[in-house]
């Protein structure tokens, strides 16, 4: 298998989050200060261009800030955390093979996705994050983490997507342009030591003999040289920690008592959850369904039902049918339903389904369902999500959140998020 990793890195993340609610600040100098407003923890490009370093103490730069009308914000981590979560969720939609590296950076293992043109793919993802969340990102694509990280840094100020393919002319010229200190794992602390040894560029570092790199910075140095040439040494760390449960929920566009609207929402959520389950090669033993009325209105009510499957399953059809059966039993005509949540939990990785003691499980039927799901996932991986889906999800689309119909104004998209306010 050829390894391909994409690093999705949000540009000036905290600043970009603040600009979501202040679109008038695009292109203007913006800075985010640490919680006690002491020092700079995020800078817009305009502020970087003024020569304000990371961590700059605010009092030292007060005059410069005032002269250039730098908009200052105190950090709003609740907001940043929420936006980060939305980005992670979007990325998980692309592939569950994700390692969330920090609040604004994630590695995606895209080796198994069917991608013809990686840079084109990167531009599509970048465009989607911008359109759906409003945050600009840089995407570095390469066979190793070290190269992907370098690539994302190099394309920050250009078009935001860069493929570094070892051996290519681009790879060589980009390594030659990069300071050794720009490499992940070297940074400003080790850079002076490298330069004292005559290693000034990333290219010179990559050209070190492995033994020499190991002398200079231990086994990590040897691994970095290998990574720069496309040999993977640093694995994706979250890949082997499969989740223990999957929750999907949706608030309806408007409160409803139409069963087919709610069933359609449940089917869509269940199909998404089952897809995620299958992509982690898991089977579920249990599912849960929760529907509720609007908790801000009088007479608030919620209903919860648990389903225990006769045998572990990852079959969307079986999960949807079971949830629909439960819903039919709890549905009440007089209620206005506001939200549905569904859960899958109690997972197993057993691919060998054992016939149960009483022979109630039709093993060949299970195997057929498994192959059917594999076929659906392959088609959807190739042609895009929902290319093939369950008819039950199509009964009605009116349950979808209203935001899809509104203009792309930031504030109306996330009316549930508190507005970020400039500190006065």
- Contact residues for Mg ion, defined by CB under 5 A: 9-10, 104
| Nearer CB in complex with Mg ion: 14/309 | 14
Residue 37, sorted as left (phi over 0), alpha (psi -120 to 50) or beta, turns out to be left
User: 146: helix, coil or strand?
Assistant: helix
Nearest CA-CA partner of 417 in 17, 149, 13: 17
Bridge partners for 100 per DSSP: 106
Where would I find the H helices in 53-104? Answer: 62-67, 77-94
Least distance between Mg ion and beta carbon 156 (Å) = 8
145-154 vs 210-228: helix crossing angle, rounded to 10:
70
Least distance between Mg ion and beta carbon 239 (Å) = 22
Nearest CA-CA partner of 48 in 34, 68, 63: 68
| Nearer CB in complex with Mg ion: 140/230 | 140
Would you state the structure tokens that stand for residue 234, as one six-digit string? 């640093």
Tokens 């929902």 belong to 386
| Nearer CB in complex with Mg ion: 104/315 | 104
CB count in 10 Å sphere of residue 69:
8
Bridge partners for 179 per DSSP: 201
Least distance between Mg ion and beta carbon 360 (Å) = 53
CB count in 10 Å sphere of residue 192:
11
Residue 46, sorted as left (phi over 0), alpha (psi -120 to 50) or beta, turns out to be alpha
Least distance between Mg ion and beta carbon 228 (Å) = 21
| Nearer CB in complex with Mg ion: 9/326 | 9
Least distance between Mg ion and beta carbon 104 (Å) = 4
| Nearer CB in complex with Mg ion: 104/227 | 104
| Nearer CB in complex with Mg ion: 9/318 | 9
Tokens 């950076």 belong to 105
| Nearer CB in complex with Mg ion: 9/99 | 9
Under DSSP, the state recorded for 407 is -
| Nearer CB in complex with Mg ion: 104/109 | 104
Contact 40, 54 (CB under 8 A): yes
Question: b/e map of 146-166 (b: 16 or more CB within 10 Å)?
Answer: bbbbbbbbbbbeeebbbbbbb
CB count in 10 Å sphere of residue 172:
14
Nearest CA-CA partner of 102 in 238, 243, 241: 238
| Nearer CB in complex with Mg ion: 101/345 | 101
Least distance between Mg ion and beta carbon 105 (Å) = 6
Least distance between Mg ion and beta carbon 145 (Å) = 15
Contact 208, 183 (CB under 8 A): no
Q: Which residue is nearest to Mg ion (CB)?
A: 104
| Nearer CB in complex with Mg ion: 158/407 | 158
User: 17: helix, coil or strand?
Assistant: helix
Displacement of CA 386 from its chain's centroid (Å):
19
Would you state the structure tokens that stand for residue 59, as one six-digit string? 């009092």
Nearest CA-CA partner of 100 in 18, 3, 9: 9
Least distance between Mg ion and beta carbon 314 (Å) = 35
Least distance between Mg ion and beta carbon 195 (Å) = 25
Would you state the structure tokens that stand for residue 103, as one six-digit string? 């609040």
Least distance between Mg ion and beta carbon 117 (Å) = 25
Least distance between Mg ion and beta carbon 13 (Å) = 5
| Nearer CB in complex with Mg ion: 137/270 | 137
């Amino acid at each position: 298998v050829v390894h391909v990793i994409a690093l999705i890195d949000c540009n000036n993340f905290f600043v970009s989050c603040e600009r979501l609610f202040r679109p008038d600040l695009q292109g203007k100098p913006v800075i985010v200060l640490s919680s006690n407003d002491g020092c700079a923890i995020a800078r817009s490009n305009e502020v970087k261009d003024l020569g304000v370093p990371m961590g700059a103490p605010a009092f030292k730069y007060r005059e410069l800030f005032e002269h250039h009308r730098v908009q200052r914000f105190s950090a709003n981590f609740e907001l940043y955390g929420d936006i980060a979560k939305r980005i992670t969720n979007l990325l998980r939609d692309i592939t569950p093979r994700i390692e969330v590296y920090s609040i604004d950076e994630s590695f995606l293992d895209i080796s198994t996705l069917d991608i013809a043109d990686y840079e084109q793919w990167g531009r599509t993802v970048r465009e989607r994050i911008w359109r759906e969340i409003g945050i600009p990102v840089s995407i570095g694509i390469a066979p190793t983490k070290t190269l992907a990280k370098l690539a994302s840094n190099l394309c920050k100020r250009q078009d935001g997507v860069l493929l570094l393919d070892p051996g290519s002319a681009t790879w060589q010229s980009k390594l030659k342009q990069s300071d050794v200190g720009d490499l992940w794992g070297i940074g400003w602390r080790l850079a002076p030591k490298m330069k004292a040894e005559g290693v000034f560029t990333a290219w010179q570092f990559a050209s070190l003999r492995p033994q020499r790199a190991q002398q200079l910075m231990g086994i990590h140095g040897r691994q970095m040289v290998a990574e720069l040439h496309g040999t993977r040494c640093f694995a994706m760390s979250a890949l082997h920690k499969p989740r223990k449960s999957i929750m999907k929920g949706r608030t309806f566009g408007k409160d409803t008592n139409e069963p087919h609207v709610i069933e359609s929402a449940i089917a869509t959520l269940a199909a998404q959850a089952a897809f995620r389950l299958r992509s982690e090669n898991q089977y579920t033993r249990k599912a849960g369904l929760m529907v509720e009325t609007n908790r801000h209105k009088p007479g608030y009510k919620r209903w919860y039902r648990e389903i225990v499957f006769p045998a572990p399953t990852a079959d969307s059809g079986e999960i949807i049918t079971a949830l629909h059966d439960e819903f039919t039993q709890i549905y009440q005509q007089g209620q206005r339903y506001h939200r549905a949540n569904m859960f899958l939990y109690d997972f197993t990785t057993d691919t060998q389904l054992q016939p149960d003691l009483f022979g109630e499980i039709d093993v060949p039927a299970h195997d057929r369902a498994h192959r059917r799901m594999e076929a659906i996932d392959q088609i959807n991986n190739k042609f895009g999500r929902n290319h093939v889906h369950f008819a039950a999800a199509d009964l009605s689309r009116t349950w979808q959140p209203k935001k899809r119909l509104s203009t792309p104004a930031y504030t109306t998209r996330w009316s549930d998020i508190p507005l970020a306010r400039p500190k006065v």
